[in-house]
Chains A and B, each alone.
Chain A
């Protein structure tokens, strides 16, 4: 339900957020990448040559440096690197946001249930979380990928989400534990509210900002895992991504011959993850007034 209260909260948070230079820089970088991702939808307008996956310049048979027709040059089969970079931005956003979203939903619900229910429910859920938390997600993904062949991008997104909820659920659980004993929760119990109602109506709005904060950090993690996986050759071969571009540079032996091909995806991965991280740091300050400087409220 969207009402005035939530709009007001958002506006107030936004004002603090935008005063923070880290937040400003994060938003700036993010905007550039968002424009890139949106621009990738315009690629078909420039003809089939600029399709990031299948578009081949008929005149070019080897990797060429930047030129007017190909701003960042081409790869070894004559595909446009700039087009791939734009497409990669879109994929990075899709992978990062959707995977973070899944893991946040999972982590928040499990954390709230675990914290509110307590007892053996809590014990089982948190031990499960512990087990998953200590598993190295990249290694697990590599093993799965080598066992079952190449994964579709959505399966990768899903597996990253499954591997990444425990840390979120731990934080949400501890927040829930402190909320649980607050009088407004007890008042609601005295009024006869069910546990489901208390969890979703009373606890959720109070833990949601924290969940969003963790979402930004999860985005970073998901983008990095996907890039690493693709670089190692276990990504979705039918999908251009920055990690995949790096894999192609490496596999075609252009690592040290074509800096125009190697550097853009590398820088993009670093900058986008940095942007999300900065976003998270600035959000942290909105949520935790103790981090604010004097005179800000």
Chain B
């Protein structure tokens, strides 16, 4: 992992990835029908880009995100981070991987533990990976709070999630994701629970974090407009298949796949 050459390998590489969910085995060992959430996916994400994954509910976009942060493992296929296989990581290498890859969840009301203060939530990754002393962690947390736009950081330090608005909570979730300076962040529909103006602010924040820290994002969304606003490249996913990958601009101007065309048509208020 030390001699990683961004020109040679994409930061994230998915090859032939399939994820099947086995419904509960029937009585007497009868097998139910497999559900293929992802079917033979190939995807490359390059360092420093914001890569959009667009699709409707049930298309497998969230599953893709969960596989990339190793909340789940693929049934078949290989996933590489910086050229290194992550499929069977365990122990120390897995812990190292966990420090490099983070996730932002969809629902800011569910993704923060109501019984932990903001400081405790954001410093958890630091504590878990044994980084810094209590004082330096405090500094880092306050600094991160300010980075995500919760200023002054000290004012939010001892708050609890129920004292914050949805937008502020999502910023806390972003702070938790970036506090370890990870290389790759999966953002799973981070704006879908926020109202439009707050959502735009959050998109701006993600974009600024990419520019400032050079982090790479996978931005999962069902909203083509948000994808166009934020993403360098976009993949359209449909029923477990990636049907089209292109720059955000091209996807919207010259959609090739019939599903992409359909998707653009049904986006409300999306005129060119």
Of A183, A188, A202, the residue contacting B106 (CB under 8 A) is A183
Contact A190 B124 (CB under 8 A): no
**B98 interface residue per 8 A CB criterion:** yes
Contact B128 A184 (CB under 8 A): no
**A121 interface residue per 8 A CB criterion:** no
Specify the chain B residue showing the minimal Cβ separation from A202: B113
Of B103, B110, B116, B117, the residue contacting A190 (CB under 8 A) is B103
**A193 interface residue per 8 A CB criterion:** yes
Contact A184 B111 (CB under 8 A): yes
Chain A positions 180 through 213: 1 when the CB is less than 8 Å from some CB of chain B, otherwise 0 = 0011101111111110010001100110000000
A189 to B103, CA, bound (A): 10
| Chain B residues near A183 (CB-CB < 8 A) | 105-107, 110-111
**B95 interface residue per 8 A CB criterion:** yes
A187 to B101, CA, bound (A): 11
**B142 interface residue per 8 A CB criterion:** no
Of B98, B115, B173, the residue contacting A5 (CB under 8 A) is B115
| Chain A residues near B105 (CB-CB < 8 A) | 183, 186-187
A190-B98 CB under 8 A given contacts A183-B106, A197-B128: yes
Contact B71 A189 (CB under 8 A): yes
- Majority DSSP secondary structure for residues of B touching A: loop
A187-B95 CB under 8 A given contacts A5-B160, A192-B128: no
A186 to B69, CA, bound (A): 10
**B129 interface residue per 8 A CB criterion:** yes
A3 to B70, CA, bound (A): 34
A186-B71 CB under 8 A given contacts A191-B98, A192-B99, A202-B113: yes
A293 to B195, CA, bound (A): 33
Contact A191 B106 (CB under 8 A): no
Which bucket holds chain A's interface residue count? 20 to 34
Of A190, A193, A206, the residue contacting B71 (CB under 8 A) is A190
Say how far A105's CB is from chain B's closest CB, in angstroms: 19
Contact B69 A190 (CB under 8 A): yes
| Chain B residues near A190 (CB-CB < 8 A) | 69-71, 98, 101-103
Specify the chain B residue showing the minimal Cβ separation from A182: B110
Contact B128 A187 (CB under 8 A): no
**Count of chain B residues with Cβ under 8 Å from any Cβ of A?**
29
Of A3, A5, A190, the most chain B CB neighbours within 10 A belong to A190
A193 to B102, CA, bound (A): 12
| Chain B residues near A188 (CB-CB < 8 A) | 113, 124
Chain A positions 147 through 191: 1 when the CB is less than 8 Å from some CB of chain B, otherwise 0 = 000000000000000000000000000000000001110111111
**B224 interface residue per 8 A CB criterion:** no
Of B71, B113, B114, B124, the most chain A CB neighbours within 10 A belong to B113
Contact B95 A192 (CB under 8 A): yes
Say how far A192's CB is from chain B's closest CB, in angstroms: 3
**B11 interface residue per 8 A CB criterion:** no
| Chain A residues near B173 (CB-CB < 8 A) | 187
**B252 interface residue per 8 A CB criterion:** no
| Chain A residues near B128 (CB-CB < 8 A) | 191-194, 197
A268 to B147, CA, bound (A): 62
| Chain B residues near A182 (CB-CB < 8 A) | 110
Contact B129 A187 (CB under 8 A): no
A197 to B129, CA, bound (A): 12
A190 to B180, CA, bound (A): 12
**B176 interface residue per 8 A CB criterion:** yes
**B83 interface residue per 8 A CB criterion:** no
**B237 interface residue per 8 A CB criterion:** no
**B125 interface residue per 8 A CB criterion:** yes
Chain B positions 172 through 208: 1 when the CB is less than 8 Å from some CB of chain A, otherwise 0 = 0100100010000000000000000000000000000
A269 to B211, CA, bound (A): 71
Of B101, B112, B115, B180, the most chain A CB neighbours within 10 A belong to B115
Given contacts A184-B111, A188-B113, A201-B124, list 16 more A-B pairs with CB under 8 A.
A3-B117, A5-B117, A183-B105, A184-B110, A186-B71, A186-B105, A187-B111, A188-B124, A189-B71, A190-B71, A191-B102, A193-B124, A202-B116, A205-B113, A206-B113, A206-B114
A interface vs B, CB < 8 Å?
Answer: 3-5, 182-184, 186-194, 197, 201-202, 205-206
What are 19 A-to-B residue pairs whose CB atoms are below 8 Å?
A: A3-B117, A4-B158, A5-B117, A183-B107, A183-B110, A183-B111, A184-B110, A186-B71, A187-B105, A187-B173, A187-B176, A190-B69, A191-B124, A192-B95, A192-B98, A192-B128, A194-B128, A202-B116, A206-B113
